[in-house]
Amino acid sequence: MQSCEISSDSTDDPLSSGLRPHRQPRIVVIGAGLAGLAATRVLLKNGFTDVTVLEASDHIGGRVQSVKNGRATLELGATWIHGANGNPVYHLAEENGLLEHTTDGERSVGRISLYTKNGVAHYQTNVGKRIPKDLVEEFSDLYNEVYELTQEFFQNGKPVCAESQNSVGIFTRDLVRKRIMVDPDDPESTKKLKLSMLQQYLKVESCESSSPSMDEVSLSEFGEWTEIPGAHYVIPEGFMKIVDLLAQDIPSHTICLCKPIRRIHWNYSAQHREVIGKSSDTKRDDNHNDNNHGRRANEDPLILGQPIWVECEDEEWIPADHVIITASLGVLKQNHEVMFSPSLPEDKVLAIEKLGISTTDKIFLEFEEPFWSPECNSIQFVWEDEAQLEQLAYPEELWYKKICSFDVLYPPERYGYMLSGWICGQEALQMERCDDETVAETCTELLRRFTGNPDIPKPKRILRSSWGSNPYIRGSYSFTRVGSSGEDCERLAMPLPYANSTKAPPLQVLFAGEATHRKYYSTTHGALLSGQREATRLIEVYQDHKA
């Protein structure tokens, strides 16, 4: 996948005669994750032959990262197929036999909570005591009642009260606390335990939402995220099998790995000639433009006929008629100012700034033998000293307090004795900066403390994700932050230049990726569908022109 051959047979306007002009339109797809591969697959199937995928990393898959561990496959990234009915990821998996060995423990109906499905969750306090199961169930019922209320603001157009500050976290914490405190049957010690459990539940919710805190998640928009009906599934052979299926019909020379981009020069006009001319003086004589990939920077793009030039980090400049950008919201937040020339329109920049993305990391610990009981499906960390806290913000050295739980991976016949821990927000970034030994020791001490078992050995292996510090990802997935809305997702997805705003060629820069899907943001099916959406947008404009 290293060769990146782009044809240069003609410079005619590709919109001049539909899908069979003097030359095919040149389409560059930025990113080989689910969105980029889905877009490329649809384009190739519909007769577009001049398509190139530029992937910054050394592998395809984006935020899908499956790692073999003996007989098991561990997912550092995407793990579940969320829903079945009409879910293109589910149908792809089902049609290709990827779910034949999915166990009941890897299939969940209804709202899932990380890995927890079968068995019993052990809620342990920081003084090594287990919270009674009936108390856990009583609190869980209360929390889920309030969770359902958070959905009503968007779904029923219910006005948000000022006290909540339009925050899921503030609304949930205030209402659950009020209901706990007015319960006449609970002694003060029970109320304190429930208040502590509330903080733990909100940590879990933050990991699921990939937000630093549920306080940052918009209450008025929370209910727009749409759940596809049906169960949630784990793919035993790994989610990378979905990536492989999407890529299998894409010729290997189409995908260029280790090809990060520096800047997208779009909407070229005469004012850029001087810039290009000056930049050519700084280019290395031995740059990669000497092959068929692109052209030297000092060749006039107006004469050559392309409205877009993709400037790569290796000094290559690649011409294009259309670019589909599937970079994560985190990358756009970090790089949009230098990534586009001219700069993005103000409203699109505002959408990028308003929408949220954070880091949710997993910490896998493998043990020689289980120290947990057979019915235990997770160890949930409840800090009793956090009962009355308003915001859970920790100094760097206390990053481990944001770990909400360790889940038991089932079945042991496949996974061995494996736990998966969860951490999110700035604390996840701090964890990423620590070495494996430090994280393993810290997690072992936590497990000893919360279970009350000082003899728990260190794990024989640790594996963890690092999505926040990955320069080509910069976070796990998006959420609607307080102040943002689904309209920002749609604004982010809007192609450039905007329709009717210019006489320049249309659909030069298109945007895909999970953050651009209004209803399915944060999901793999949202990413896949967004890639298909942008490919279809191009297909339709050429078909309309031909007609």
* Residue 136 host element (H or E): helix 133-155
Q: Are 16 and 7 in contact (CB under 8 A)?
A: no
Residues 163, 176, single domain; the answer is yes
Residues 449, 488, single domain; the answer is no
Residue 150 included in any domain: yes
Residue 499 pLDDT: 79
Query: Domain of 314: which CATH number?
Result: 3.50.50.60
What is the DSSP secondary-structure string of 184-242? TTS-HHHHHHHHHHHHHHHHHHHHHHT-S-GGGBBTTTGGGS-PPSS-EEE-TT-THHH
Window from 35-39, 143-147, 212-216, 302-306 with minimum mean pLDDT: 302-306
Residue 132 included in any domain: yes
Calpha distance 66→37 (Å, rounded) = 17
* Residue 362 host element (H or E): strand 360-367
* CA 324 remoteness from chain centre: 18
**pTM to 2 decimals?**
0.90
Q: Are 405 and 379 in contact (CB under 8 A)?
A: yes
Residues 479, 515, single domain; the answer is yes
For the residues 352-368, what does the mean pLDDT come to? 98
Residue 481 included in any domain: yes
Beta pairing class for 107-108 and 72-75? unpaired
Residues 55, 146, single domain; the answer is no
- Nearest-10 Cα torsion for 54, 58, 61, 66: 180
Residue 295 included in any domain: no
Residue 338 included in any domain: yes
Q: Residue 116 above 50 pLDDT? A: no
Residues 452, 418, single domain; the answer is yes
Residues 348, 364, single domain; the answer is no
Query: Domain of 194: which CATH number?
Result: 3.90.660.10
223 vs 254, which has greater pLDDT? Answer: 254
Calpha distance 172→159 (Å, rounded) = 15
Token pair 């936590």 in the structure block, residue: 446
Calpha distance 324→25 (Å, rounded) = 13
Residues 162, 253, single domain; the answer is no
Residues 109, 169, single domain; the answer is yes
Residue 1's nearest CA partner among 73, 40, 58, 48 is: 58
Beta strands in 277-316 (DSSP E): 308-312
Residue 382's nearest CA partner among 449, 473, 315, 301 is: 449
CA angle 33, 329, 54 (to 5 degrees): 35
Biggest CA pair distance of the chain? 81
Token pair recorded at residue 137 = 């169930």
Reported confidence tier of residue 103, pLDDT bands at 50, 70, 90: confident
Token pair 């590709």 in the structure block, residue: 14
Q: What is the pLDDT of residues 522-531, one digit of tens each?
A: 999 999 999 9
Share of the chain above pLDDT 90, in %: 76
Of the residues 441, 464, 487, which one is the last residue of a structural domain? Answer: 464
Reported confidence tier of residue 109, pLDDT bands at 50, 70, 90: low
Residue 446 pLDDT: 98
Q: Are 443 and 365 in contact (CB under 8 A)?
A: yes
Q: Residue 235 above 60 pLDDT? A: yes
Provide the domain count of the chain: 2
Residue 151 included in any domain: yes
Q: What is the pLDDT of residues 276-290, one digit of tens each?
A: 444 444 443 333 333
Mean pLDDT of the chain: 89
Of the residues 412, 438, 464, which one is the last residue of a structural domain? Answer: 464
Cis-peptide into 395, omega within 30 deg: no
Q: What is the pLDDT of residues 55-76, one digit of tens each?
A: 999 999 999 999 999 989 999 9
**Domain span at 32:** 27-62+240-270+306-356+474-545
Residues 453, 424, single domain; the answer is yes
Residues 511, 498, single domain; the answer is yes
Residues 116, 194, single domain; the answer is yes
Q: Residue 426 above 80 pLDDT? A: yes
Share of the chain above pLDDT 70, in %: 86
Residue 73 pLDDT: 95
Residue 67 included in any domain: no
Q: Residue 332 above 60 pLDDT? A: yes
* Helix/strand/coil for 51: strand
Of the residues 399, 430, 464, which one is the last residue of a structural domain? Answer: 464
Q: Are 405 and 381 in contact (CB under 8 A)?
A: yes
Residue 158 pLDDT: 84
Residue 546's nearest CA partner among 1, 13, 18 is: 18
Residues 6 or more apart in contact with residue 472 via CB below 8 angstroms:
56, 57, 260, 331
534 vs 18, which has greater pLDDT? Answer: 534
Q: What is the pLDDT of residues 449-505, one digit of tens each?
A: 999 999 999 999 999 999 999 999 999 999 999 999 999 999 999 999 997 766 788
Q: Are 432 and 466 in contact (CB under 8 A)?
A: yes
Q: Are 531 and 326 in contact (CB under 8 A)?
A: yes
Residue 134 pLDDT: 96
Handedness of CA 165, 167, 170, 172 (dihedral sign): positive
Residues 347, 365, single domain; the answer is no
* Helix/strand/coil for 420: strand
Residue 332 included in any domain: yes
